[in-house]
Amino acid sequence: MFKRSLVLGSLPWLVFLSTPSCSSSDKKACEGAEKCACYPNGSCDVGLACRSDVCVNLNGAGGASSGTFDTKACLACAEGACSSEASACKASSGCEAITSCLLSCSTDAVCLSECAKGATTDNVTKSGTYQACAAINCSKDCIPALSGIGGFGNGSGGASSSAGGTSKAGGSSTSGGNSGIAGSGGGGQTNPISGVNWLTAVEDAAPSTVGVNGKLGVEGVFYAYADPCTTASMQWDPMSRCVSGTMCASDSTGANWGVAIGFDFNNVESVKHAWNAGTAGVTGIAWQANVTGGPMQVWVQNMDPSFKGTCSSMNCNINAPPDGTSSASPNGQFSFASMVKDVWGPDADSYVFDPANISALQFKLPAKPLETSYMLCVGAIGLVR
C-alpha cells in the first residue's frame, strides 16, 4: 500500500493527494507549505487551504480549481478496489516514480505530460492500469469537480441518450448513466466568447440548458466504442468519461483498429442531428484529455449525406477517413482549416470536410503491434470562435 505521494491521472480533475513524507525531525519544516502537513491549528501558509491535514493549492495552474475531496477516502478506495494493480505498480521500480512526478507537477499540464517520458513500457503500463482502475472504481471519492469548464455532476435528471460510434472497421459502443444539471459547474446558460468556449459537461452529457452549450447548438452525448476484439475488455465509466481495458494487437486486415470516445454534438433522445459549426461561429476544436497507451488521435466526422441531417442509426458517419490530427497532445486544439485526413489505406474513399454537416468527434487510441493496456478520459471539449 502506498505511503508516499500518489497521483493517478494527468489532469487536475484526476489528482490523488496524500500526506507528504516528512520525518519527525523535519516535520516543523514541512508544516504549512504546499503538499505539507497543516499547522496544528488547521491553517496553512497564505494561498493554501488545509484539506485532510494536507496544505493544498486550490487555484492550480491556469486558474482552474482542482476541486476538494477527502484524500484519505480516495486513497483507501484506490488501494482497496485496486489492490492487485497497486501492488504491481509498487513492485515495478519505475512505476511509483511516475506517480510521484505527477504529484509534484500539481496542475501544470506541460509538466504532467513529461512524467512518463523515459519510462519503460512496463512501468507506464502498470501505472496506467492502476490509474484506469482507480478512475473507474473510485471516481466518487477521487474525481472532484472543476470550476469554469464544467466538471462532473451529481444531481438528478433525465437519462442520457445512448449513442453509437464509428470507425473504419465498425465496432461496439457503450453508453449509460443518468445525467443531471446539479453539480455541472454551470448555473444556467451563458453567452459564447471570442476564443475557446468550454462546454459544460455533466457526466456523459453536455446538456443544452447549461453554460454555452445551447447557445452553440450543442446537446451533447459522450460514449465509448472499440473494435470487436477490444470491446471484450472495455470498461466505460460515464461519470468520469473514462474508458479503459486491454487493446488487442493490430492485424493485417484492419479489423483491430483500437478504441475511442465519441461525442455527438447534437443528440436528442438517441436521434443524432447534423451540427452546423458555421452557424455557431465555430472555427475549431479544443480538448483536455488524460491518456495512457497513446498516442491519441482526434477526428471530426461528417454525417453521411444519405441521412439528410437526422440519423437514428448507431453509425451515422461517412464511411471514409475523417479529418483532424493523428498526433494529438492531451491538451490541445486545432482549426478546421489545419486538419488532415486519417489514413485508411490506398483503397479508402475520401470526401471534402463540411463544417455544416458535423456528426461527431472521435478521440481515438489506435491499435499497436502488441496487446496494450490503456486508459482514455475526456475532461473537457472546447469550441473555438
Question: Read out DSSP for 275-320?
Answer: B-TTTTT--EEEEEEEEES--EEEEEEEBPGGGTTEE-SS--B-SS
Q: What digits encode the pLDDT tens for the residues 122-171? A: 776 677 667 666 665 665 665 543 322 333 222 222 223 333 444 443 44
- Side-by-side strand order, sheet with 267-268: 267-268, 271-273, 310-311
Q: Determine the pLDDT at residue 95.
A: 80
Q: Which of the residue ranges 74-78, 201-205, 265-269 has the most confident prediction, judged by mean pLDDT?
A: 265-269
Q: What digits encode the pLDDT tens for the residues 59-71? A: 543 333 334 445 5
Helix (H) or strand (E) holding 74: helix 71-81
Every domain of the chain and the residues it spans: 12-142, 172-384
CA distance 62 to 112: 14
Q: What digits encode the pLDDT tens for the residues 295-322? A: 899 999 999 999 999 998 878 999 999 9
Q: Determine the pLDDT at residue 266.
A: 96
For residue 261, pLDDT beyond 70:
yes
Cell of 212: 454555452
Tell me if 352 sits within 8 A of 289, measured CB to CB: no
Q: What digits encode the pLDDT tens for the residues 119-133? A: 676 776 677 667 666
CA distance 234 to 236: 7
CA distance 352 to 215: 27
The SS3 of residue 335 is strand
Burial-class residue 218 by CB neighbours within 10 Å (0-12, 13-18, 19+). buried
Compute the average pLDDT of residues 179-194: 58
Q: DSSP state, 31?
A: B
Tell me if 99 sits within 8 A of 79, measured CB to CB: no
Q: Determine the pLDDT at residue 166.
A: 40
Q: What digits encode the pLDDT tens for the residues 201-247? A: 988 999 999 999 999 999 999 999 999 999 999 999 988 899 999 99
CA distance 92 to 81: 19
Backbone φ and ψ of 38, nearest 5°: -70, 160
CA distance 312 to 272: 6
